[in-house]
Amino acid sequence: MTTPRHHDEGILQRAALRVAGSGLDGDWVTSQLSLAPTRFTKEGTVGPGGVRAVTNVWRYTVPVPTDRPMETHLRALVSDLRPRQAVLKRMAQDWSVTVWCSYVTDYAQGTFQIPPDVMAFLSETGVSITVSVFSWGMVRVDEDEADD
Predicted confidence pLDDT, tens digits, the chain (148 residues): 334 444 456 788 899 999 999 999 999 999 999 999 999 999 888 887 888 889 999 999 999 999 999 999 999 999 999 999 999 999 999 999 999 999 888 877 788 889 999 999 999 999 999 998 888 776 556 555 544 4
Domain count, the chain: 1
Sign of CA pseudo-dihedral 115, 121, 123, 129: negative
Residue-level pLDDT at 1: 36
Per-residue model confidence (pLDDT) at position 4: 40
What confidence score (pLDDT) does residue 138 get?
67
Residue 15 maps to a domain: yes
**What pLDDT does residue 3 have?**
42
- Please say whether the beta carbons of 80 and 62 come within 8 A: yes
Is residue 26 situated within a structural domain? yes
CA 7 – CA 130 distance, rounded (Å): 22
**Residue-range definition of the domain harbouring residue 62:** 11-146
Q: Tell me whether residue 5 is in a domain.
A: no
Domain membership of residue 50 (yes or no) is yes
Q: Is residue 4 part of a domain?
A: no
pTM of the model: 0.81
Are 52 and 46 a contacting pair, CB within 8 Å? Answer: yes
Furthest C-alpha separation in the chain? 60
DSSP code of residue 79: H
How far, in whole angstroms, is CA 40 from its chain's centroid? 15
- Give the angle subtended at the CA of 17 by the CAs of 13 and 21, to the nearest 5°: 130
What pLDDT, on a 0 to 100 scale, did the predictor assign at position 83? 98
Q: What is the pLDDT of residue 25?
A: 96
Query: For residue 82, what is the DSSP state?
Result: G
pLDDT at 135: 82
Query: Does 3 fall in a domain?
Result: no
